[in-house]
Amino acid sequence: MLGERRVFAALSRLPDDCLAYYEPVVRRRYPDIIAVPPDVGVLVIEVKGWRLADLRSIDANGLTFANGREQQHPLRQARDYMFRLMNECEKHPRASMVMHKDGHHVRRFIFPFAHIAVLSNITRLQIESHSPELARLFPPVTTIARDELATWETLEPDALLERLKACFDPWWPFPKLTPAQVDVLRSVIHPEIVIHRGETDLAVLDLRQERNARAIGDGHRIVYGVAGSGKTVLLIARAKMLAEDPDRRILVLCYNRLLSQHLQAALAGQNNVTAMTFHRWASNCGISFGKGEEHDAFGERLLARLQSDAGLCGRYDAVLIDEAQDWPRSWFQCARLALKEPETGDLFIAGDGSQTLYRKRDFTWADAGINAAGRVINRKFDLDRNYRNTAEILGAARPFSAPLAVGAQGVLTLPIDPDTAIRSGPEPLLVRCADATGELRYTAALIETWLLAGLDISGQRESVKPGDIAVLYPTVVVSLKLNSLDTLDA
């Protein structure tokens, strides 16, 4: 492991746009490191910490150690990983983004792939002085010996890039990979970072979100963030990462039925993950929500059922909860009992403390049996930053922000702060009409224009489908007037 960490530390000194994955997954086979410098190519690295005295015999296929153990030759191992990665890239729905579309090299990769082995405890002098056969089996172009690795650790980033480029045979110049092309590679190496994948589009976690998803420890974890900070995206990525072990059973719970449908769609490929509302889970356990019943009382009834029937408890290795701000204490106690290990099992809780759409939390985490001490995540993961909205949208919304409540701590308002936005975009169009009827007619005409002529986005005219448009209105004030307008009825 020390050798792998040395290589990874050296690669971490490359320019910021160069990726290095330590122990990535390629079809459940594990190369030690995959490096993606966007103007060099893709490099698969296998690291071995053997000493020369450990080896009894070696040929192009494998090695035999002094203790009789056999292992595949590291260069052959790295090559197999590389071919597997190439095959996965070729099958990707967006493979055309990383391949030549015409010409002599049509359907071939724009950039080169390479594979190397690093022998972190054997020097080049030891290899060459031991025997000509060993030097032939570990050539300097594709094998980095211990003394050569030491030079990696002292090279300037640009010089290290040139050294990596020398590992490619062949290497050819190509236009630097765009972020979208790198995203295709990232989604092949780690499929769990994919938010949406289609034939025409691909959405993945950004590098900050991917790093955060991997940094979450096990046990009870609580994630708070502003609206639009990516809490649900983080939860989905966490569920996919946990699901990499096919023997683990994972339960994802939320309050809202529409959100549960979104979670089910996002986790559809994970056969060992079940996503549903708390109410649906309770129903599956034999407890139905009573008309007019308080949510806490409903949870208390389920809790009593779980405590009296051991067969309903301890079914899951991990439980993930979204919309935690909407949950009463008894619901958390129930979710905890769903774990095989309630005290130490993976319990991931995501919520927005500023939202009061359904209820306000009037209990401590300790009251609910949640071990929250030192396990609450917010600013450390940039969850005080807004991914969903642009700064321009938040700026336009801010004047409309109304107080939610007045209490001992003063006026509580929705946290609409343009400075929290990570993205920028065009200014929203604000239109003021003389009356509600004028607003409706203007809206109908605008929608008709978008559907017929498309929408100008960053200087390009893009088509718009009905499903791309949302119309929000107060149901009591406006819905009756909507029915009186033929243009909208049609």
| DSSP structure class, residue 27 | T
Please say if the pLDDT value at position 277 is more than 80.
yes
In a domain, 410, yes or no: yes
- Are 296 and 416 found together in one domain? no
CB contact burial 183-212 (16+ within 10 A = b; e otherwise): bbbbbbbbbbbbbebeeeebebbbbebbeb
CA–CA distance, 406 with 278 (Å, rounded to integer): 31
124-138, 154-168, 287-301, 422-436: least confidently modelled range:
422-436
- Are 164 and 49 found together in one domain? yes
In a domain, 194, yes or no: no
Which of 138, 158, 186 represents a domain boundary (last residue)? 186
Domain count, the chain: 4
Residues 50-99 have pLDDT tens digits of: 898 888 888 888 888 888 888 899 999 999 999 999 999 999 988 999 99
- Are 46 and 101 found together in one domain? yes
In a domain, 18, yes or no: yes
Contact at 8 Å (CB) between 252 and 274? Answer: yes
- Are 150 and 242 found together in one domain? no
Mean pLDDT along residues 420-441: 84
CATH of the domain at 156: 3.40.1350
Please say if the pLDDT value at position 115 is more than 80.
yes
In a domain, 300, yes or no: yes
- Are 233 and 371 found together in one domain? yes
In a domain, 335, yes or no: yes
- Are 446 and 414 found together in one domain? no
- Are 241 and 345 found together in one domain? yes
- Are 410 and 462 found together in one domain? no
Mean pLDDT along residues 430-449: 91
- Are 96 and 128 found together in one domain? yes
- Are 372 and 319 found together in one domain? yes
Q: State residue 484's pLDDT score.
A: 36
Which of 186, 220, 252 represents a domain boundary (last residue)? 186
- Are 338 and 456 found together in one domain? no
Residues 363-384 have pLDDT tens digits of: 888 888 888 766 665 555 555 5
Range of the domain at 451: 436-489
In a domain, 431, yes or no: no
Q: State residue 60's pLDDT score.
A: 84
Residues paired with residue 113 on neighbouring β-strands, in sequence order = 42
In a domain, 448, yes or no: yes
- State the average pLDDT for the chain: 83
Q: State residue 198's pLDDT score.
A: 61
Any alpha helices (H) in 39-131, and if so which ranges? Answer: 74-91, 124-130
In the structure, what pLDDT confidence band is assigned to residue 122 with cuts at 50, 70 and 90? Answer: very high
In a domain, 48, yes or no: yes
- Are 18 and 144 found together in one domain? yes
Q: State residue 227's pLDDT score.
A: 66
Q: What percent of the chain has pLDDT over 70?
A: 83
